[in-house]
Amino acid sequence: MERPTLRQLEYFVAVAERLSFSKAAESCFVSQPSLSAQIAQLEATLGVKLFERDRRGVRPTAAGEALLAGAQETLACCDRFGQLAKSFGAPLTGPLRLGVIPTIGPYLLPKVLPSVSRSCPELRLFLREDTTARLLEQLAEGRLDLLLLAIDLELGPVVTLPLFSDPFVLAVPEGDELDRPQDASLADLKGRDILLLEEGHCLRDQALALCDSADAREMGGFRGSSLGTITQMVAGGLGITLLPELAIEREAAAVPGLRTVPFGADGPSRAVGLAWRQSSPRGDEFRALGEAMASAYARGV
């Protein structure tokens, strides 16, 4: 079936809304004969009469009234399509599907998104929280545009942008022998039971590597689903753990009896950053967003 053109639908809606061919032609900046010819062609394409004309004026037929809403919605969809395309032409506007890992999202996003929203008011973020492996899969499939995660891991064929270094701290129960003023060292982990996240979390892999180097052992029979769960267990005296500094403010406030000990300037850390597909045309945009996030985090706003 031959399809109506957008111009024909525009003329149809103009006549139906103004109930006048002359006023419709004027609003569309065309001559009345041209508009009338397009309406006649549209009626031929659809096989129905859209308007009745007599000495009293113009009015839609029953078919015209029934088809009007569809024509209006089609034109509206076309407008939204154009607006969406236009949004991609300007930096940091329109929709952006951001994937973030759960050991970063709850701690970093509340600190940086208000500032990002103020500086990029037309940017619409859609957030997806998941483990690194699943986020990378969704990025490769095009279901996500950008990832916020630890980038000092093997992430595959992606472009990465470092934002800041996030030091690890030692989390112990109040009164533990390591609850002391001086900095901790990895040697302090030797022989201790370390509470870790469950499989799939990149933070688990990073902490496990540090434990192996320090001859520490993972506590058997327990793997936490979140940092909140692990810090509760630590405060209860069931072991110690490694926390990213990013999480301290929130977790320490929520868990009385939890103490954190820094490792010092040369201690272990993770690199927090952004990652996107090598083929993405939005690299410059993502770099600008990364700079805004890093700046907001550094200012503590």
Residue 150 confidence (pLDDT): 92
Q: Where residue 255 falls among pLDDT bands split at 50, 70, 90? A: confident
Domain boundary among 64, 89, 114: 89
Same domain, 230 and 294: no
Check whether 86 has a pLDDT greater than 80.
no
Q: How far is C-alpha 285 from the geometric centre of its chain's CA atoms?
A: 14
The pLDDT mean for the chain works out to: 86
pLDDT class for 83, splitting at 50, 70, 90? low
Domain boundary (69, 89, 109) is at 89
pLDDT, tens digit, for every residue of 183-226?
A: 888 887 787 888 887 776 777 878 777 777 766 766 666 677 78
Number of domain units in the chain: 3
pLDDT bracket for residue 178 (50, 70, 90): confident
Region 125-145: mean pLDDT is 91
Residue 205 has a CB neighbour count (10 Å cut-off) of 15
Buried b (16+ CB within 10 A) or exposed e, 242-256: bbbbbbbeebbeebe
Instruction: Determine, yes or no, domain membership for 1.
Output: no
Q: At which of 61, 89, 117 does a domain end?
A: 89
| pTM over cut 0.75 | no
β-pair partners for 197: 224
Residue span of the structural domain in which 247 resides: 164-269
Cβ neighbours around 94 below 10 Å, total: 17
DSSP state of 4: P
